[in-house]
Protein backbone atom coordinates (compact mmCIF):
# COMPACT_ATOMS: atom_id res chain seq x y z
CA UNK A 1 0.00 0.00 0.00
CA UNK A 2 1.32 3.39 -0.83
CA UNK A 3 2.06 5.44 2.29
CA UNK A 4 0.69 8.62 0.77
CA UNK A 5 -2.62 7.19 -0.28
CA UNK A 6 -4.31 6.97 3.08
CA UNK A 7 -2.93 10.10 4.69
CA UNK A 8 -5.08 12.39 2.63
CA UNK A 9 -7.56 12.58 5.52
CA UNK A 10 -4.68 13.56 7.79
CA UNK A 11 -3.75 16.42 5.50
CA UNK A 12 -7.34 17.59 5.42
CA UNK A 13 -7.60 17.64 9.20
CA UNK A 14 -4.30 19.47 9.50
CA UNK A 15 -5.38 22.06 6.95
CA UNK A 16 -8.66 22.50 8.81
CA UNK A 17 -6.82 23.09 12.08
CA UNK A 18 -4.62 25.74 10.50
CA UNK A 19 -7.55 27.53 8.92
CA UNK A 20 -9.51 27.30 12.16
CA UNK A 21 -6.63 29.00 13.95
CA UNK A 22 -6.39 31.80 11.41
CA UNK A 23 -9.93 32.73 10.46
CA UNK A 24 -12.17 30.93 12.91
CA UNK A 25 -14.81 28.22 12.80
CA UNK A 26 -17.52 29.71 10.62
CA UNK A 27 -15.08 31.28 8.20
CA UNK A 28 -13.48 27.89 7.62
CA UNK A 29 -15.20 26.29 4.63
CA UNK A 30 -14.91 22.67 3.59
CA UNK A 31 -14.18 23.83 0.08
CA UNK A 32 -11.19 25.95 1.07
CA UNK A 33 -9.84 23.31 3.43
CA UNK A 34 -10.05 20.65 0.74
CA UNK A 35 -8.33 22.92 -1.72
CA UNK A 36 -5.51 23.68 0.74
CA UNK A 37 -5.07 19.96 1.39
CA UNK A 38 -5.22 19.22 -2.34
CA UNK A 39 -8.13 16.88 -1.83
CA UNK A 40 -11.30 16.90 -3.92
CA UNK A 41 -14.45 18.04 -2.13
CA UNK A 42 -16.20 14.70 -2.51
CA UNK A 43 -13.19 12.92 -1.07
CA UNK A 44 -13.35 15.02 2.07
CA UNK A 45 -17.03 14.19 2.54
CA UNK A 46 -16.23 10.52 1.91
CA UNK A 47 -13.68 10.45 4.72
CA UNK A 48 -15.71 12.65 7.03
CA UNK A 49 -19.34 11.65 6.54
CA UNK A 50 -20.30 13.82 9.49
CA UNK A 51 -19.46 16.84 7.36
CA UNK A 52 -18.16 20.07 8.77
CA UNK A 53 -19.05 19.24 12.35
CA UNK A 54 -17.00 16.10 12.32
CA UNK A 55 -14.06 17.60 10.46
CA UNK A 56 -13.71 20.62 12.70
CA UNK A 57 -14.13 18.58 15.86
CA UNK A 58 -11.31 16.35 14.65
CA UNK A 59 -9.21 19.38 13.78
CA UNK A 60 -9.73 20.81 17.25
CA UNK A 61 -8.70 17.54 18.86
CA UNK A 62 -5.66 17.22 16.63
CA UNK A 63 -4.47 20.72 17.41
CA UNK A 64 -5.05 20.15 21.10
CA UNK A 65 -3.14 16.90 21.07
CA UNK A 66 -0.20 18.49 19.33
CA UNK A 67 0.04 21.22 21.93
CA UNK A 68 -0.39 18.68 24.70
CA UNK A 69 2.47 16.59 23.35
CA UNK A 70 4.64 19.69 23.09
CA UNK A 71 3.76 20.63 26.66
CA UNK A 72 4.61 17.14 27.87
CA UNK A 73 8.01 17.34 26.24
CA UNK A 74 8.87 20.84 27.43
CA UNK A 75 7.56 20.40 30.95
CA UNK A 76 9.82 17.41 31.44
CA UNK A 77 12.62 19.96 31.91
CA UNK A 78 10.74 21.45 34.85
CA UNK A 79 7.65 23.60 35.16
CA UNK A 80 9.38 26.97 34.99
CA UNK A 81 11.78 26.36 32.09
CA UNK A 82 9.16 24.30 30.26
CA UNK A 83 6.58 27.04 30.50
CA UNK A 84 9.12 29.57 29.34
CA UNK A 85 9.93 27.46 26.30
CA UNK A 86 6.26 27.02 25.57
CA UNK A 87 5.56 30.74 25.77
CA UNK A 88 8.53 31.40 23.53
CA UNK A 89 6.98 29.11 20.89
CA UNK A 90 3.71 30.98 21.03
CA UNK A 91 5.47 34.28 20.79
CA UNK A 92 7.29 33.22 17.66
CA UNK A 93 4.16 31.88 16.06
CA UNK A 94 2.37 35.17 16.63
CA UNK A 95 5.20 37.22 15.19
CA UNK A 96 5.96 34.87 12.30
CA UNK A 97 2.33 34.90 11.21
CA UNK A 98 2.12 38.65 11.71
CA UNK A 99 -0.66 37.99 14.24
CA UNK A 100 -2.74 36.02 11.78
CA UNK A 101 -2.41 32.71 13.58
CA UNK A 102 -4.44 32.22 16.73
CA UNK A 103 -5.60 29.26 18.77
CA UNK A 104 -7.96 26.88 16.98
CA UNK A 105 -9.29 25.60 20.29
CA UNK A 106 -10.41 29.06 21.31
CA UNK A 107 -12.24 29.44 18.02
CA UNK A 108 -14.05 26.16 18.58
CA UNK A 109 -14.89 27.25 22.13
CA UNK A 110 -16.52 30.59 21.38
CA UNK A 111 -18.09 30.29 17.93
CA UNK A 112 -21.50 28.79 17.40
CA UNK A 113 -21.93 27.12 13.98
CA UNK A 114 -24.32 28.96 11.68
CA UNK A 115 -26.88 26.18 11.63
CA UNK A 116 -26.59 23.45 14.28
CA UNK A 117 -26.93 25.03 17.69
CA UNK A 118 -24.75 22.68 19.66
CA UNK A 119 -21.24 22.15 18.40
CA UNK A 120 -19.18 18.98 18.33
CA UNK A 121 -16.15 21.23 18.00
CA UNK A 122 -17.05 22.97 21.23
CA UNK A 123 -17.12 19.66 23.07
CA UNK A 124 -13.75 18.80 21.58
CA UNK A 125 -12.43 22.15 22.84
CA UNK A 126 -13.68 21.36 26.34
CA UNK A 127 -11.82 18.06 26.32
CA UNK A 128 -8.66 19.76 25.10
CA UNK A 129 -8.79 22.39 27.84
CA UNK A 130 -9.21 19.65 30.44
CA UNK A 131 -6.18 17.82 29.14
CA UNK A 132 -4.03 20.95 29.15
CA UNK A 133 -5.11 21.78 32.68
CA UNK A 134 -4.18 18.29 33.82
CA UNK A 135 -0.81 18.44 32.11
CA UNK A 136 0.12 21.83 33.54
CA UNK A 137 -1.26 21.05 36.97
CA UNK A 138 0.76 17.85 37.22
CA UNK A 139 3.93 19.68 36.26
CA UNK A 140 3.30 22.35 38.89
CA UNK A 141 2.75 19.71 41.56
CA UNK A 142 5.99 18.09 40.48
CA UNK A 143 7.66 21.48 40.89
CA UNK A 144 6.52 21.63 44.50
CA UNK A 145 3.26 23.55 44.34
CA UNK A 146 0.35 22.40 46.44
CA UNK A 147 -2.19 20.42 44.38
CA UNK A 148 -5.08 22.86 44.79
CA UNK A 149 -2.93 25.88 43.97
CA UNK A 150 -1.38 24.03 41.05
CA UNK A 151 -4.76 23.29 39.51
CA UNK A 152 -5.85 26.90 39.89
CA UNK A 153 -2.62 28.18 38.40
CA UNK A 154 -2.91 25.80 35.47
CA UNK A 155 -6.31 27.29 34.66
CA UNK A 156 -4.98 30.82 34.99
CA UNK A 157 -2.08 30.04 32.66
CA UNK A 158 -4.33 28.64 29.93
CA UNK A 159 -6.92 31.37 30.25
CA UNK A 160 -4.45 34.23 30.24
CA UNK A 161 -2.41 32.88 27.34
CA UNK A 162 -5.58 32.42 25.28
CA UNK A 163 -6.69 35.93 26.13
CA UNK A 164 -3.28 37.43 25.50
CA UNK A 165 -3.05 35.84 22.08
CA UNK A 166 -6.44 37.27 21.20
CA UNK A 167 -5.41 40.72 22.42
CA UNK A 168 -2.25 40.60 20.34
CA UNK A 169 -4.23 39.67 17.25
CA UNK A 170 -6.60 42.58 17.79
CA UNK A 171 -3.92 45.16 18.50
CA UNK A 172 -1.33 43.72 16.11
CA UNK A 173 1.17 44.10 18.91
CA UNK A 174 3.15 41.55 20.93
CA UNK A 175 3.14 43.67 24.09
CA UNK A 176 0.06 42.09 25.73
CA UNK A 177 1.61 38.66 25.36
CA UNK A 178 4.92 39.75 26.85
CA UNK A 179 3.25 41.38 29.83
CA UNK A 180 1.19 38.28 30.55
CA UNK A 181 4.09 35.89 30.00
CA UNK A 182 6.34 37.75 32.43
CA UNK A 183 3.75 37.58 35.19
CA UNK A 184 2.99 33.91 34.60
CA UNK A 185 6.67 33.00 34.80
CA UNK A 186 7.07 35.03 37.99
CA UNK A 187 4.06 33.27 39.47
CA UNK A 188 5.38 29.81 38.64
CA UNK A 189 8.88 30.54 39.88
CA UNK A 190 7.54 32.00 43.10
CA UNK A 191 7.10 28.78 45.03
CA UNK A 192 8.93 26.58 42.58
CA UNK A 193 12.27 26.12 44.39
User: Is residue 39 close enough to count as binding DNA by CB under 7 A?
Assistant: yes
Count of positions on this chain that bind its own copies (CB under 8 A): 47
Determine if 146 is a binding residue for its own copies (CB under 8 A): no
Verify binding: residue 129, its own copies, rule CB under 8 A: yes
Single residue of 13, 25, 33, 83 touching its own copies by CB under 8 A: 25
Q: Which stretch binds its own copies (CB under 8 A): 3-11, 19-27, 38-46, 83-91?
A: 19-27
* Contact flag: residue 118 with DNA (CB under 7 A): no
Q: Are the C-beta atoms of 157 and 86 separated by less than 8 Å? A: no
Site of interaction with its own copies (CB under 8 A): 22-27, 102, 105-114, 122-123, 125-126, 129-130, 151-153, 155-156, 158-164, 166-167, 169-172, 175-176, 179-180, 182-183
Site of interaction with DNA (CB under 7 A): 5-6, 8, 28-32, 39-43, 45-47, 49, 51-53, 114-115
Amino acid sequence: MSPRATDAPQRVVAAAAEMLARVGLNATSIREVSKAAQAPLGSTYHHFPGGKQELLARATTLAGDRVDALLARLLAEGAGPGLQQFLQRWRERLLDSRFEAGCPVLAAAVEVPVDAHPSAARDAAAAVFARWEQRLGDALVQAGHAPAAAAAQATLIIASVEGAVAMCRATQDIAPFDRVAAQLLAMVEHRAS
